[in-house]
Amino acid sequence: MKGRDTATSREVRISAEGAALPGMLTLPAGCAEVVLFAHGSGSSRLSPRNRLVAEVLQQAGIGTLLFDLLTEPEARDRRNVFDIGLLAERLEHARRWLEAEMRPRQPALGYFGASTGAAAALVAEADHPHSVAAIVSRGGRPDLAGEALARVTAPTLLIVGGADYDVLDLNTEALRQLGSPKKLVVVPGATHLFDEPGTLEQVAELVTNWFGTYLKRPAEAAVLLRR
């Protein structure tokens, strides 16, 4: 395991069709994998929950990119917050920016989405098959991905709180529709924001294990899935 003291962090600006999206890119020394974070409605790159998960990934030697899917003026319009197509496009811009930024290394990439960000991650991958190697949703709304669920190719983990009843029902149905290798994990006693002691730490462990298993380059992932 690589400690965070071996990582480098820097603020970045991602251009997306005229919008400048602020972010923080953290790369542990020698990392070959990076996870892009797609935050949910009412949140941002500064989300303490996403930052905790990001820190655990960094400690495992996996890079992270936390960035805002919307500019501040855009985020004030609630229609944009729930425009999954727009959010998916922004995520795709960030993925392409990251690939260009890290050339010639070509790291394996993954998406971590929360709330509406989970739907954006699923749509972005469905529209660009095999663009990322793995996806994780925390308290997400995968149902908002609609017909794109059946087109997802990346191994997908859905994490839901056991006391987040409505979202659990939505995730259970979304799991049935997903076309990729998939798994639903319920964290007992957790509500939507995983505020209960120890629950977010459980999420971080689940996320790290999933990406540790599936965050491979496409050819490597295909071999793994055939085993």
> What does the longest C-alpha to C-alpha distance in the chain come to?
48
Query: pLDDT for 42-64, tens place per residue?
Result: 666 778 889 999 999 999 999 99
Q: At what angle do helices 199-214 and 48-59 cross, to 10 degrees?
A: 50
Domain count of the fold of the chain: 1
Query: pLDDT for 80-126, tens place per residue?
Result: 889 999 999 999 999 999 999 988 888 899 999 999 999 999 999 99
Q: Which domain holds residue 216?
A: 4-226
- Check which CATH number belongs to the domain holding 121 and give it: 3.40.50.1820
d(CA 174, CA 184): 10
Strand 182-187 and strand 156-161: the pairing is parallel
Q: What token pair was written down for 27?
A: 């790369």
3-state secondary structure of 216: coil
Q: What is the pTM of this model?
A: 0.91
- CA atoms lying within 13 Å on the CB side of residue 105: 15
